[in-house]
Amino acid sequence: MFFTSEVVVEFLTSPLEVLAWGSMGIFQGAREVLPSLIAFVLLSNLGASITEVAKDALVAEYGLRYRINGLQSYALMASAAGGVLGNLLGGYLLLTAPPKFSFLVFSGLLALQLVVSLSSKEESFDLPRIVETSSVLDSVKKSLSNLTQAIQADEISQPLIWAAVSIAMVPLLSGSVFCYQTQVLNLEPSVIGSSKVIGQMMLLGLTVVYDRYLKTLPMRPLMYIIQLSYGLSILLDFILVKQINLRLGISNEVYVLCFSSLAEILAQFKILPFAVRLASMCPRGCEGSVTSFLASALCLSQIVSAFLGVGLANLIGITSSNYSNLSSGILVQSLAALIPLCFLHFVPMSEPVIEKEGKRGVSKRNRRNRRVGRVVDKGNVAYRRERESEEAQR
């Protein structure tokens, strides 16, 4: 008997989310007592994070096995479309039903996801399977060895480091901005929820544009534009806090609807080029491991960013009754988002599309390695040449 690791992960993590949201929907104390509420939210986020890592690994392995370049773009499109539908459903439920009903509906959707995952035929993915009789310890050791060997390559490690650091070093003040919108500006939850829907629609549009027009662009200029846009988009919250939008004749409701989610969407979108590149560059057999490592590193970076945001808010005296220094914190956040532009040389110039490299024959890095006499791993070189010859024959 055999089973895929993705199915195992889904079987282990979905019940965590069902338990968390179902408990908050059924038991009143679970959603009103702070310690239990924190515990259930933590449990739900744990399951969601593990599922996210497994999803990225599955997309990477499937795309490379069937030579579907840039499959991550379609996965992000589906995620954005789901975000639009989910925010619309959540907003409707909040307007027409008590919160406990929303929790129960969400728990039911997670249970449906678990049933669909378990009922899916494993053979339909045609991916490597874990044999039940094999040693789990040996499998873990082999995966760690392959992962270590893969991330030692500069073309994988350097962009991965840049992506993780560019997120971790930006203090996240979205929670403070949200509290300012609800407590000071007295914006309705429907307005903030609608801004999330518009943000997901923007993410969907950006992903389509990237897949059609931008994925053939050199990596470094593309990331320069995205990171610069992200740093400047944070200043949109500064305009809201200073009420500059009112001087321009734009109401708070309209401004939040149109611009509130732009920075968050750009932060999500900038990960897509890295996911496409790393999935196409990693050696055979460790595509899922490298992609999972990237997703885990990004999750850790977001945690660091959130802690830095809490520390910055405490440092400058942002409280539930005092938002006078929120504008200064937003300026610090914007400046921190622009700092990664100074070490953009970690991001390679080469195109992330593997077909382009196949047309050139041997990659620039391999030619440089031969020219300077650098010793490289023979297995990786042989694998690269095999993939390049396959693409050339196509």
Query: What's the pLDDT tens digit per position in 61-119?
Result: 777 777 777 788 888 898 889 888 888 888 888 788 888 888 888 889 888 888 887 77
Start-end of H helices in 27-70: 28-32, 34-65
- Residue 364 CA to residue 350 CA, distance in Å, equals 9
Tell me the residue ranges of DSSP E strands in 42-179: 130-131
Q: How far is CA 53 from CA 6, 89, 197, in A?
A: 10, 25, 24
**Mean pLDDT taken over the chain:** 80
Position 6 scores a pLDDT of 55
Instruction: Decide which of 176 and 382 is more confident.
Output: 176
> What number of CA atoms fall less than 13 Å from residue 275's CA on the CB side?
31
Average pLDDT over residues 352-377: 41
Predicted confidence (pLDDT) per residue in 241-276, tens digit: 999 999 999 999 999 999 989 999 999 999 998 888
161-212 pLDDT tens trace: 999 999 999 999 999 999 999 999 999 888 888 898 999 999 999 999 998 8
C-beta of residue 54 within 8 angstroms of C-beta of residue 127: no
**Measured distance CA(273)–CA(16) in Å, rounded:** 31
Does 238 or 149 have the greater pLDDT score? 238
How far CA 229 is from CA of 170, 226, 339, 347, in Å, comes to 14, 5, 13, 17
Separation in Å, CA 9 to CA 2, 42, 217, 282: 14, 18, 35, 22
Cβ proximity of 320 and 183 under 8 Å: yes
| pLDDT over 70 (residue 12) | no
Once rounded to an integer, what is the mean pLDDT over residues 48-72?
77
pTM comes to: 0.77
DSSP state of 183: I
pLDDT tens, residue by residue, 213-245: 888 888 899 999 999 999 999 999 999 999 999
Q: What does the pLDDT look like over 123-138, one tens digit per residue?
A: 666 655 555 545 667 7
